[in-house]
Every structure is written in C-alpha cells, then in structure tokens.
Amino acid sequence: MKFYDCSTAPSPRRVRIFIAEKGLDIPVQQVDLRNGEQLSATFRALNADCAVPVLQLDDGRMLSEVVAICQYLEEVSPDPRLMGVDAAERATVLMWNAKIEQQGLSATADAFRNSAKGFKDRALTGPHNYAQIPQLAERGMQRAVHFSQRLDELFASNAYVIGKAISIADISAFLFVEFASRLKAIDLDDFENLRRWHESVGERPAFQR
C-alpha cells in the first residue's frame, strides 16, 4: 500500500491519526497542495477529485475519501477496533462520523476557504474553480459554534463520541475542534465538556501526528 498525504492539510491528518492508532506502518508520499500538485495530470489519474488522502492498494486500486480509506484499513487490520465492534456500534460510528463531517468539518471548511486570501476562486476542493462567497464564510463560523454546543452536550455524559470507546468519530471531531479553534470560530473555554475531551484525546501519541 501507499498513502498519499499532505502534512499541512486536515483531511489526510484524520487518516494519519487512524493509521497511528492502529500501529500500522504504510509508506507515505507527500502531495504538495500549496503548489497545486493535486491538480496535475499525474495526480488526477490517482484521484479525479484532486484531493488527498488517497490510499493505493497493493493491486493498484485507488481509494479516496477518509471514511472509505479507514473502512478498508479497519477490515484488513482489525485491532484495535476504531469503527465499532458489532452491527449497531459500527452503524453508530458511521452516523457520528457523517454528522461531524456534514455539520462540523464542512462548516470549518466553508469558513476558511470562503475567506482566506490564498483561496480566491478555490472555495471548494476539486478540479473546478468556484468563487468565494463571504456569507458562506460567516455561516460556517456560526455553524461551528452550534456544532460545538452539540458536541459539548454529548461529552457531558460520553467519554468518547460513541460512548466508552474511541473511534474514527473522535478523530474527525478532534480535527473539527482544532480547525474551529484556529479560525477563532470558537473559544474552547466556553465549552467545558468539549475542552476536557479535547485535552484527553489530544494527549494520545497518535494524535501528535
């Protein structure tokens, strides 16, 4: 296998942490997003959506999208389990991961890509250019606050997103909180439970990746 990564981007970092939690050692190739390598013909042949992460399988097949790559790694290297131990728990992990992507990570991406000067006409990843929409950046900041409230309520009773076990959903939520904090969309001191969970998972060695 080969893992196409970019050490400065949030999406591939989710897979990097997942790989580290599993204790796997997969050869890495860095993709230079800052200089547009993801838009090159060579990279488009790997992923027509011009985005990392990508996992190349031993038979040459290419997997993109974080949840898909992690699902594959979970099946070929089951321990430790990071996507649930039975049918209901596996579904619960996918449910929370989807909510975190749609309500959390898409909000921070909207806030960042629709306001950062370097992302003019690059409001979305992919081969097509789209103009920045300032109102969408503002909405992203508001949504990040609302979703932080939702997570804060969850962590009032849960040690981890799905309850007592860490999962890919915690990795996704951690990246959301990191991004929302860096954008100053939220101040973690306003969310006591979320801050406690963030400190706890952030101390794990895999989360230093």
Binding mask 44-63 for a second copy (x = CB under 8 A): ----xx-------x-x-x-x
State in angstroms the smallest separation of the CB of 117 from a second copy: 19
* Neighbour-count burial for 138-160, b at 16+ CB within 10 Å, e otherwise: eebbebbeebbeebbebbeeeeb
68 lies in the site for a second copy, by CB under 8 A: yes
Instruction: Give the one residue of 50, 69, 141, 180 binding a second copy; rule: CB under 8 A.
Output: 69
> Which residues lie closer than 8 Å to 8 by C-beta, 6 or more apart?
33, 34
Using CB under 8 A as the binding rule, the residues of this chain from 76 to 95 that contact a second copy are: 76, 87-88, 90-92, 94-95
Identify the helix (H) or strand (E) that includes residue 68: helix 66-76
Torsion of CA 73, 74, 77, 80, to 10 degrees: 130
142 binds a second copy per the rule CB under 8 A? yes
Taking the complex as a whole, how short is the minimal distance between the CB of residue 72 and a second copy, in angstroms? 4
Asked if 164 touches a second copy (CB under 8 A), the answer is: no
Question: What is the footprint of a second copy within residues 167-206 (CB under 8 A)?
Answer: none
| Residue 104 contacts residue 94 (beta carbons within 8 Å) | no
